[in-house]
Amino acid sequence: MTYKVTSRDEKDTIELAQNIESEKFPNMVICLIGDLGSGKTVFTKGFASSLGIEEDITSPTFNIIKEYTTGEMDLYHMDVYRLDGKVGDLGIEEYFHKNGVVIIEWADMIYDYLPEERLEIKIKISEDSEDTRMISITPYGRAYEELCEAVL
């Protein structure tokens, strides 16, 4: 089942991220998909602040992976856009088992490397308003289905 959410502004996107964070669990994987400027990093900022991470969250475009270890749970923030589907020996899969939360921007570029169980969030800029986002959330696996039932 895919859940649909409309975000009218960044505040709505942050609130959605905070609601999802409230149901976090170790080894959670969130896959963010959307065009440039659609709100993937805004979502991650909301999630991170809810975890208690006070560091400035920016898209790790050039680093590929940023690790935040100062919150309630470790957050591994990835931006795989520059990989062009070639993960190589980065060890991305290892992060799925580090007992933290993994958030992957541009996750559709590495589908073959994603775990079967994950939360997929597609963010689309509305044609009617540049501030509005149409968000589709698809859970893969029972834990993610339960999370969606709890917060959506």
Residue 132 in this model has a pLDDT that exceeds 90? yes
In a domain, 144, yes or no: no
In a domain, 16, yes or no: yes
Rounded CA separation 103/21 (Å): 11
Question: What per-residue confidence (pLDDT) applies to 35?
Answer: 94
Q: What is the pLDDT of residues 29-50, one digit of tens each?
A: 999 999 999 999 999 999 999 9
CATH of the domain at 38: 3.40.50.300
For the whole model, what pTM was predicted? 0.96
Domain assignment of residue 98, given as a range: 3-135
DSSP H helical ranges for the chain: 10-21, 40-51, 92-95, 142-151
Question: What per-residue confidence (pLDDT) applies to 40?
Answer: 97
In a domain, 59, yes or no: yes
Q: How many domains does the chain have?
A: 1
In a domain, 150, yes or no: no
The strand pair at 65-68 and 75-79 is best described as antiparallel
Least-confidence region, from 28-37, 55-64, 139-148 = 55-64
In a domain, 149, yes or no: no
At residue 86 the predicted structure's pLDDT band, cuts being 50, 70 and 90, is: confident
